[in-house]
Chains A and B, each alone.
Chain A
């Protein structure tokens, strides 16, 4: 046993702590128990990471279509909560807004949903966006240029990140070499592509001109768009412009948001009022609870395993803070040792789930940092709770 020690680590910790690194020595003394404890913490980490990953993917898919837009103010029907629900809004509101000096430009945005039947039994659901091709609604100039080309009737741009799409058929579509596809009984020429990727509502997106949109959705009228996007004049604040607009536009049919607040409200609605969001939010809470319980089990088992030794130290005159020190030392070491494999495995799982579903599951520093801090806190708290018995009892009762 002496030979298998890592004297360097122990010596460094002795210097750091100013005492024998009993926590470290205890952890490394029994390899099997260490592997089980680290495995438990890693498992708890993976659990929480996966739940946060799903929840984060939901938030991200809600945000992605908004992110394409070059707009400051977002007008929407008073009863609409997301991009796709609610009633329509009078296009008149666009002209009312454009009449104001603090609004520089704006355009209507039409949203609909279609099923694209590729083959019998194989269909892809597409979110269809209609814009006036003369406007330049997107941040990406390349995408704006492509939109201009959509003034040719019955042409479309397809989301190349659409779930289950066979990209090889469409990847090279251009104005010169259009690829035709049949949608809602109409023949469309695909003349280009962009990338958003599917979310929980649809597998992908299609962008068309407002005229083509009306052909695809004969029930819709150009006078009643889903949303109106506005650009504020230079030197104005989006929040102030929105506040002023709210006073002018009738609240019974129009809701005024900045783009940022529109995204935040959409995310908050979908995560708290829609089943998918509630399920994932609940998953995060359950994941954390189960994670904390696992970590508590690991730490309290460890304290119980060493209770006799701690009782001896207590009998020798070591104070309460000495045991807390050992337990915190173990908690931090276990949290770190469990976090590393937990992070690596969860990142791998993200890639697998992302590939299988097309959902944007990505590890980021914020999430990794939050989980690490949470793990250390949960470990330390569990350890502190687990030493309560040691604190309360007379040493003689613990041998």
Chain B
């Protein structure tokens, strides 16, 4: 867990990826090389279809690696077995475009699921941890609400709380504000980044919102499945 002990949080080398089969097969990633350092906030940009989400889901263990190598927190994901994937998934927080909350669980219970996955030790005092997390994100008054009674921004904040509650060393966020209007989207992202950075978490986030770019340490732009540019803005 200690960021200092594993200098590279994520190392991607020669990553290729294809969708479809046979004649219809289409290559969506071409020889991607990428390294994330501990504590970095990296923003991934690019037109839709440029392969951002594919890269993110591959690194997030949500999709099997076809060709090339991904080392995530010291583990190789290419050809990894189910047990390795399950362990790796637990070590990162993933924030989706849609909130993907469980509709029959309350806000508090949804956040609890982010702790329960880590087993008994993480569940000690779970309720206070989950309450505090939701409180920090401004949802202290909505703890026992089901997702159907929350607004889009509130739901996305619950999803962020769920991803952050176990203090993962690495967070992937795939356009977390895509479903929200500009202003509440910005507010949600600022809240999320503020909370995550305060604990030294490494973040890789896909976004189209130019207003967030100022906060980034690095900005990577993708085009047609290739990394087009990789700009470090200021030291991490």
- How many chain B residues touch the partner (CB < 8 A)? 35
Known: A20-B112, A20-B113, A396-B57. A316 touches B63 (CB 8 A): no
Would you give the 0/1 interface string for A1-33, flagging 1 where the beta carbon is closer than 8 Å to chain B? 110000000000000000110100110111000
B233 at the interface (CB under 8 A from A): no
The contact of A315 among B94, B102, B109, by CB within 8 Å, is: B94
A37 to chain B, nearest CB (A): 14
Q: In the complex, A308→B20 CA distance in Å?
A: 22
Q: In the complex, A341→B144 CA distance in Å?
A: 33
B38 at the interface (CB under 8 A from A): no
Question: What chain B residues lie within 8 Å of A399 (beta carbons)?
Answer: 96, 98, 100
Q: In the complex, A319→B162 CA distance in Å?
A: 18
B121 to chain A, nearest CB (A): 14
Interface segment, one of B83-91, B178-186, B221-229: B83-91
Question: What chain A residues lie within 8 Å of B6 (beta carbons)?
Answer: none
A318 at the interface (CB under 8 A from B): yes
B106 at the interface (CB under 8 A from A): yes
| A22→B102 contact, CB < 8 A | yes
Q: In the complex, A314→B89 CA distance in Å?
A: 8
- How many chain A residues touch the partner (CB < 8 A)? 27
A151 to chain B, nearest CB (A): 78
A394 at the interface (CB under 8 A from B): yes
| A312→B100 contact, CB < 8 A | yes
Q: Output the nearest chain B residue to A394 by Cβ-Cβ distance.
A: B63
Question: What chain B residues lie within 8 Å of A313 (beta carbons)?
Answer: 102, 113, 117
Q: In the complex, A318→B103 CA distance in Å?
A: 18
B105 at the interface (CB under 8 A from A): yes
Known: A318-B117, A394-B64, A395-B62. A22 touches B104 (CB 8 A): yes
Chain A interface secondary structure, helix, strand, loop or mixed?
Answer: helix
User: A19, A26, A312: which has the most chain B beta carbons within 10 Å?
Assistant: A312
A330 to chain B, nearest CB (A): 12
| A316→B113 contact, CB < 8 A | yes
| A394→B89 contact, CB < 8 A | no
B143 to chain A, nearest CB (A): 10
B23 at the interface (CB under 8 A from A): no
B132 at the interface (CB under 8 A from A): no
B141 at the interface (CB under 8 A from A): no
Q: In the complex, A279→B62 CA distance in Å?
A: 52
A320 at the interface (CB under 8 A from B): yes
| A317→B89 contact, CB < 8 A | yes
Would you give the 0/1 interface string for B148-178, flagging 1 where the beta carbon is closer than 8 Å to chain A? 1100000000000010000000000000000
Question: What chain B residues lie within 8 Å of A28 (beta carbons)?
Answer: 104
B146 at the interface (CB under 8 A from A): yes
Q: Output the nearest chain A residue to B90 by Cβ-Cβ distance.
A: A317
Q: Which 9 A-B pairs have the closest CB atoms?
A: A317-B90, A29-B104, A317-B89, A396-B62, A396-B57, A312-B100, A25-B104, A395-B62, A396-B63
User: Could you list which residues of chain A lie within 8 angstroms of chain B, going by C-beta atoms?
Assistant: 1-2, 19-20, 22, 25-26, 28-30, 308-309, 311-320, 394-397, 399
Q: What are 10 A-B residue pairs whose CB atoms fall within 8 Å in the complex?
A: A1-B149, A20-B113, A25-B105, A308-B100, A312-B100, A316-B113, A316-B162, A317-B87, A318-B117, A399-B100
User: Could you list which residues of chain B lie within 8 angstroms of chain A, going by C-beta atoms?
Assistant: 57, 60-64, 82, 86-91, 94, 96, 98, 100-106, 109, 112-114, 116-117, 144-146, 148-149, 162
